[in-house]
Amino acid sequence: MTEIHSLQNAVARTSRGLSIVGTRITLYDVMDYLKAEWPPKLIQHWLNLTDQQIADVMDYIDKNRAEVETEYQLVLQQTEEIRQYWENRNRERFSQIASLPPKPGQEKIHAKLQALKAKLRQHDNASNRS
């Protein structure tokens, strides 16, 4: 009974989805790190979780793997759709910004930046040929 109670108190469904109670951290954040093969102890320290929180979250994920994985894939898909939407919406604006002349007094740094970009493109092109 205590284990069920602690798990229910550890994870809750919020407007952001499955979240760690008492935080704004979602289980999808934890899943990102797990998919990147981070050990739970590192996730715990990175997200500033207690020993009990990380243990409860890992236990919840293990016991509800299919549900969490399904929701995680849905979140990834929605995130990609949102990213593509904003990328498309801002594409014209970004090209307008890129074509603007440098601000007065920043000509030297702008020239240096353009030279560095050209060098990087040249390096990328050479790498792609190899």
Total of domains in the chain: 2
Measure the CA–CA gap between 16 and 29, rounded to whole angstroms: 11
Q: Output the pLDDT for position 36.
A: 96
Please indicate, yes or no, whether residues 22 and 63 belong to a single structural domain of this protein: yes
Place of tokens 């952001």: 16
What is the average pLDDT value for the chain, to the nearest integer? 89
126 & 62 share domain = no
The secondary structure of residue 15, as a DSSP letter, is: T
Indicate the helix (H) or strand (E) that contains 110: helix 107-129
pLDDT band per the 50, 70, 90 thresholds, residue 50: very high
Question: How many Å apart are CA 31 and CA 72, to the nearest integer?
Answer: 7
Interatomic CA distance for residues 52 and 72, integer angstroms: 23
Close Cβ partners of 110 (under 8 Å, ≥ 6 residues apart)? 102
pLDDT at 2 over 60: no
Give pLDDT tens digits for 21-44: 999 999 999 999 999 999 999 999
β-strand partners of 72: none
Q: Judge if 13 and 55 occupy the same domain.
A: yes
Strand partners, 13: 18
Tens-place pLDDT, residues 65-104: 999 999 999 999 999 999 999 999 998 888 888 888 878 8
**Mean per-residue pLDDT for 59-69?**
95
Write out the residue range of the structural domain in which residue 128 sits.
106-130
> What's the pLDDT score for residue 28?
96
pLDDT at position 6: 43
> Beta partners for 14?
17
Residues 94 and 115 in one domain: no
Banded model confidence at residue 130, pLDDT cuts 50, 70, 90 = low
What pLDDT score does 107 carry? 84
